[in-house]
Amino acid sequence: MNTYERLDNGIRLKSGTETTEITFLSEDIVKISRYTSRKAPELAVTLGEWNMKSSLTESDGIILSTGSLAVTVREDSIVFSAKQEFLREVHHEISDGASQIDYMASGDGFYGLGQHQGLFNYLGNEVVLSQRNPTETAVPLLVSSARYGILWDNASLSKLKLVEEAGYASIAYWAERGPVTYYVIRGNTVDDVIAGYRKLTGQVPLLPKWAYGYWQSKERYKNQAELLQIADQFKKEKIPLDVLVQDWMYWGKHGWNALRFDEDNYPSPSELASQLHDAGIRLMLSVWSNFGRSTEVYREFSQKGYLIPGSLNYDPFNEEARRAYWARLQELLKLGIDGWWLDASEPELNKPIDEASDLGIWSFYTGLHDSQTAMGPGANVVNAFPLMHTKAVYEGQRSVTDKRVVILTRSAFAGQQRHSAIIWSGDIHHDWGVLSGQIPAGLNFSVSGIPYWTTDTGGFFSGDPSTPSYKEIFIRWLQWSTFTPIMRVHGTWYAKEPWRFGEDGKQIIKSYIELRHRLFPYIYSVARMVTDGYTMMRPLFMDFDDRQVLNISDQYMFGPSIMVCPVTAPSTRRRVYLPKGNWYDFWTGKAIAGGSLIEVDSPLNKVPLFVKEGAIIPLGPADQSLSVPVSQLELRVYKGDNAEFFFYDDDGETYAYERGEFARVPFSWVERERKLKIGDQQGPFKRPNMKIDLVLVREGKGAGKDEGQPDWSTNYEGKQIEINL
């Protein structure tokens, strides 16, 4: 055994030119740093060294323990255990060049790692961690069904290979550039593991209320008049709309990504934003990280050395460059822009090659990987480009206003959740296979600790809405999108506003947008749970201790109560696995016993949805603006077991909730006594009184989107009420 040095919260060992530091950051999180001449740059992790004490004994190795987690260091391995061994590092090769670490790991399922289309349980697969449109994002967090996770804080191109062996899984981690720091996170649940990841890398800010509504986007709306016409048509059709998105090329004569509007097509952007706001609609704007040579912003950034050498892309690893980038966006913020679409945030896809026309045509190139950044060689930090890019915008906006930040971007790295970042799955096509692959991609991304994820509903490369085949796939896609963290429609080739799909298609689409609004009290309350450590879009293994669910990639829980079973083939029936326990069919109210595989009807106007018994779901009006406090709730109780739910509210716009300005109302159902308890409001946020209609769900009552006939009604004024039924 090599000699070691005792640290306050761990040990340091040396072997030749190599140093290994093992330090505890909490009872359930331990950090392993292996390096030779330099330590790895730590971009993902923001948690400083905690003074977490651990005991040390020497018996068959050096044993460090907090009581919850023990690490045993031997000549040939590092063993991690919590009552029983769950992970063992068995081999490592560390250098400033390529590095590799091999593990023996417990668990029958392994998830996370960002977004990789069509893959769910990674056991038996090799995964490359890189940022590539349209399918790949690199978040180096691997989560085991055995309730632990490994976070590698290394931003170089990386690769993992997971092989099932007799009684364990073999994991080989390779990074193009060393050294390597990794964290082992242990929990009693998968939620605990994700909470540990966020303790390390940052919590999730609450998005503004409007972000949880319906987004309409396309490539592209071409002028101010068209945007206002679209908003007006939604109003005429009586279809809720919360966000309109202006895609690229609005800069016109000013040059590629000039970060200003062409006055010929957008004569008054501030008036545009104002009129949309008056209609209850928010405006998101596409902004890029590279600039045409003819633009003012390019000239400024070039003169000041803010560009990555040899490219037209600013260097987000340069703090001064980040501030300069935000200064340009701040001028747009003053016009009334509500959210930022950071398009093409992959480090390898950012170089316009048609310099003469300045049209922004791009191609793959070696890019950041072979360049220098303010933090050194690009190869060392290439996967962290989107993290630093979103940092520029999030920290910039937080420094000048209390208005909540909303960022939509296409790539992600560990820690990006702290920047109010929503990730979408890239420029995908519109076929059933792609739709099917989106679901496990979104589930794994959620398990990666970054909860806000979305997709180009109907595919970026769209079909013709007038054709029955595309209408069917779009409706199925939109039904699923209703139950994703962000409900967003976008694409090219054809417009995809609801009225483009014929009267029958429009009515189905409208009904799901209305259902999204009906569910808003539930969704926003779950969003606050996310800010407190929860995950909204949940693979079944997170909630059910059932081996059957480890490989189910086409069903999931949306929040604690609703199981979503998307239809991903041209069919009017699908098979559904109901985990053990009793369930309710959302559309009929019929109770169904779980623990088996069933076949359910799924006509084009219905996506199969099931609610766990012992659930409370608050619903609001279908036509209510999300900017207006909820004043009427339909409280659906799914009997059969005790239930509780915390309804949450705040101003929906600012960070006052971080200062304690919010309201929580606890609802609980006591099954044995058939009693509903509504507790005192918690928190000082002043909100209007609420009319509450209680509906006990049963077959034919409290079912579907429409309002149910109440079993009991009251006016809630913030004080406790008990109802015996």
Question: Catalytic residue numbers?
Answer: 343, 346, 427
- The Cα 712–Cα 725 span in angstroms is 9
Name the token pair of 397: 């906006």
Residue 469 parent element (H or E) = helix 468-481
Cα–Cα distance measured from residue 703 to residue 245, given in angstroms and rounded to the nearest whole number = 34
Helix (H) / strand (E) element for 528: namely helix 520-531
Do residues 364 and 352 make contact, with C-beta atoms less than 8 angstroms apart?
no
Cα gap 245→426, rounded to integer Å: 16
| Host H or E run for residue 233 | helix 224-237
CB 147 within 8 A of CB 193: yes
**H and E: helices and strands count for the chain:** 11, 43
Burial annotation 423-443 (CB, 10 A radius, 16+ → b, else e): bbbbbbebebebbbbbbbbbb
Stretch (H or E) spanning 597: strand 596-601
Q: What is the C-alpha to C-alpha distance for residues 330 and 312, in angstroms, rounded to an integer? A: 21
| Rg of the chain taking only CA atoms, in angstroms | 26
End-to-end CA distance of the chain: 69
81, two tokens: 């255990």
Torsion of CA 576, 581, 585, 589, to 10 degrees: 170
Tokens linked to 440: 């496990």
How many other CB atoms are there within 10 angstroms of residue 494's CB atom?
Answer: 18
Residue 508 C-alpha from the chain's centroid: 27
User: How far is the C-alpha of 386 from the C-alpha of 345, rounded, in Å?
Assistant: 6
d(CA 588, CA 371): 59
Give the C-alpha separation, 262 to 224, whole Å: 10
Give me the residue label for tokens 């590799």.
Answer: 100
Look at residues 64, 73, 74, 60 and name the one whose alpha carbon lies nearest to residue 29.
Answer: 64
- Select from 350, 329, 327 the least CA-distant residue to 411: 350
> 76 has which bridge partners?
none
What does the DSSP assignment read for 532-586? TT--SEEEGGGT---GGGTT--S-EEETTTEEE----SS-SEEEEEE-SSEEEET
Strand partners, 403: 654
